[in-house]
Structure 1
Amino acid sequence: MSEGLRERKKRRTREALIAAALELFQRQGYDATTVAQIAAAADVSTRTFFLHFPAKEDVVLANAEARVALAVRIIESRRPEEALPDVLARAIELMIADVSGSDLATGLADVRVRLALTVPELRSWLMRRLLDAQERLVEALCRSYPEEHDVVAVAALVGAMMGAVTSAAAYALRRGDAPEQVEAAMRQAAAGLAPRR
């Protein structure tokens, strides 16, 4: 099914807002950048900004919500014979592919890591969002595998996999690795915790 004109326009506006925010964050700093400046740089109104993002910090995780929703859909549509660790590994793999095609390609991932290192309130907000994402995956896995009664074990597995992938990406980006190297580091981290066959 092809994307309609309205959806394309909406996507282009969102991409313009992300690009404008990234440029401003890097040029003048996160704290000094206002929503009005981001909107003006993208040649849209402040109202249009808020149609795409609830707040300035949401631009930093622009694609995260869709990525988590993708993982939840993968978990909820699991194959009957698929074991819980296998479906989680598959969901994480698709999330990595999505990061590679969006956040790594646009430079958003790199800016996000640098902002997390330099803006304490943003770092704590990013940590809360990561924990919220993990909780959503744990809940989806528990719904899809009602026979798995140990929610703590499920939470530990989700935390280990997401933590390993996130940490590998952050350190690879801090080291200055190219996008394909960052993707490889994430895949290696996920593979290290994936179920052995």
Structure 2
Amino acid sequence: MALNEQKIRCAWAESDALMRSYHDEEWGVPEHDSRALWELLMLEGFQAGLAWIIILRKRDAFRKAFKGFDPEVVARFGEKDIARMMEDAGIVRARAKIEATIGGAKAYLAMRDAGEDFSSFIWGFVKGKAVQNTGAVPASSELSVEVSKALKKKGFKFVGPVIVYAFLQAAGVVNDHAEGCFRRKVVRK
């Protein structure tokens, strides 16, 4: 690529260096690790009502506060841990979202203990093959409504259809890279 050539990427990623890096290296790459998928779903829940860049900038602090998003550890969090996190300016201090993450760890472990792999559960909705969207990007879809309902049945919170759609995009279950974006074909493979 010549020095004066610019990569064409999804418009939402152009305004910030951290967003560009996230877009270029992570967003839409099919993720199959159960724990990583769970972490991403929990972070998407924290995004509710906020911009993703806020969560992205605080991601390291979230990882520290939630002990590396180890579900075994997070599931044992109690009132003392909630109080500690409510004082942590490095994260989004929303008690309901913190409690939802603790509950999400318990739901994740309940699935695992019942022999249900979280990655297989998520990817099962698309039979293991990422959806390749074209055209306008929706805020939610029939797929995100279906996944949202299933997650709620499992005990997850902050998993409405819009949050779940953002999660599916980020996890690569849905490829919503723009048609001209340099990452679209790479992620498709």
Whether the TM-score (by the shorter chain) exceeds 0.5 is no
**Highest RCO, 1 vs 2 (Cα 8 Å, sep ≥ 6):** 2
Structure with max Cα Rg: 1
TM-score by length of 2: 0.25
Q: Which has the higher helix share?
A: 1
